[in-house]
Amino acid sequence: MSPDAAGDALPGSVEASATMGAVTSVRAAYLWGGAGNIIKALLTFGLSVLLARLLDPSHYGLIGVVLAFVSILMVIQDGGFGQAVVYFDESEETLPTYHTIAALGGVAMALLTWAAAPALAWFYGMPELREVAPVLGLCLVFASLTSIPQGLLTKELRFKVLSVVETTAGVVAGVTAVALAFWGAGVWSLVVNLLLGAAIQAAAVLRLKPGRFTRRPQPEVIWRVVRYGLPLTGSRLLWQVYLSSDALIIGKLLGSTPLGFYSYALRMARFLSERVFGIVSRVSFPSFASMREDRTRLVRHWFLLTELLGLIHFPAMLALAMNAEDFVLVLLGEKWLPAVLPLRLLCAAEAVRSVQVVIPQMVNALGETRAVLRYNILNAVVLPVSFAVGCHLGGLAGVGLAWMLVYPLLALRLLKQAAKLTGAPLKGYWRCLRAPALVTVACLAAMLPFEWLFGAGWTRLVARSAAGGACYLLSLIVLPDLGRRLLEIARGRRQVQAPELGP
């Protein structure tokens, strides 16, 4: 067959075929990552409930303080190298510089955690932090060793293997933690849960992508990454600061037990979203980066993701908020009832955050990292102040209200900037949220009568959940266009129509 004949036999040309192949790979990445996170969530949910029943809320408060501190240091130790290895096309000669700088950053931050432990214990009046903080600081070392290999696997869209690794690590660590809690290990069962999971994941990822180190890192490589990653790291650091500031403020003003209630409420409110956000954040950055020259395709991808995220999270957050009292009473026990009110308020904030999380990834992928930096500066100033005021005036409920009322106003600002940057019509964006909102209202109408028909307990929890689930499935049937798109994505078909962009 001649070259011309071959071209005639392949409609759309080789370039179109390559584009279609890329679309299929992106979709497969979302599906594998999503499936892995769902499986992990199902397997670890029961372990999480068992741990909560075996442990005291104050144990979660202690861990909450350390995790807030360690999470901030984790952003610093990465220094943007994890995403830079995805963004740049590096060679085998430059990768050892990435591995070396990342590892050194992890060791430095672990030593800083060890040095800061006495100050943390004194500031929060929690002597246990002297021993807990240095041990959890080892998570920073494991994270630094996996940062570059995981970035390379992400660039290759190898989310099937990443999902298996993360699920296995989570389950093994969770089972071990439950056993330790049953034997009376207390807060150390939570420490082992985090540390063992990080260690298993690091060992598996390094086996898949072994790191090579060098005694002479290349200055030009470091400088290139610093120029790219400095705004990105600053933005992520500010993001982590305001995301962790609620725990740090509650721990200081209210103590470890109230922080334990809040930490578990926040964990439940984000249980679904963290799994979904984990894969969306990981896949969306390289996906948007590959589409940055085709703004129409990029905007359609953004709108489709927004609609799907809304469809998943809006009804789920409503169901969790309405069933919060029954859920806590039945599964966790009466000792956790103070977590009910903050859980309901946090669900409302999480519904907004669920559709906003993809926007910073898209803006960063377009190279406009300073826009996200400015947005996070604003958040890092306004949100901690609102948390402190809310905590002072209303305790845990005040912090929940601050999330629910202040965060959406700040998120709206970034949305407007993203629309201006991409040329996307805001009417089209709001149209993407119409179907999720309608489905959520329908589920509310189905579940609300059970509030008065039954008292708190198993009966109301099961009946209301069944009614909401049935209404959700019925809504997908009543909205055939939406249901068709979901089925097409689930089956991996090539042609998936995104929501119309609108005028």
Condensed to tens digits (0 to 9), the pLDDT of residues 465-487 reads 999 999 998 887 777 566 555 55
Q: Is the pLDDT of residue 223 over 90?
A: no
Q: Is the pLDDT of residue 63 over 90?
A: yes
Between 20 and 183, residue with greater pLDDT: 183
Give the three-class secondary structure for 11. coil
CA 80 to CA 306: how far, in whole Å? Answer: 26
**H/E segment holding residue 170:** helix 159-182
CA 404 to CA 388: how far, in whole Å? Answer: 14
Between 113 and 98, residue with greater pLDDT: 113
Helix axes 159-182, 271-290, angle to 10 degrees: 160
Q: Is the pLDDT of residue 5 over 60?
A: no
Yes or no: say if 101 and 90 are a contact pair by the CB < 8 Å rule: no
Between 52 and 25, residue with greater pLDDT: 52
Question: How large is the average pLDDT for residues 225-245?
Answer: 81
For 235-278, give the DSSP string.
HHHHHHHHHHHHHHHHHHHT-HHHHHHHHHHHHHHTHHHHHHHH
Is residue 21 exposed (0-12), middle (13-18) or buried (19+ Cβ within 10 Å)? exposed
Contacts of 292 (CB under 8 A, 6+ apart): 298, 365, 366, 367
Per-residue pLDDT, 12: 39
Per-residue pLDDT, 374: 86
Query: What pTM was estimated for this model as a whole?
Result: 0.79
Amino acid at 277: F
> Over pLDDT 90: what percentage of the chain?
41
What's the CA angle centered on 309, arms 306 and 313, to 5 degrees?
Answer: 140
Amino acid at 344: R
Per-residue pLDDT, 484: 59
CA 278 to CA 284: how far, in whole Å? Answer: 10
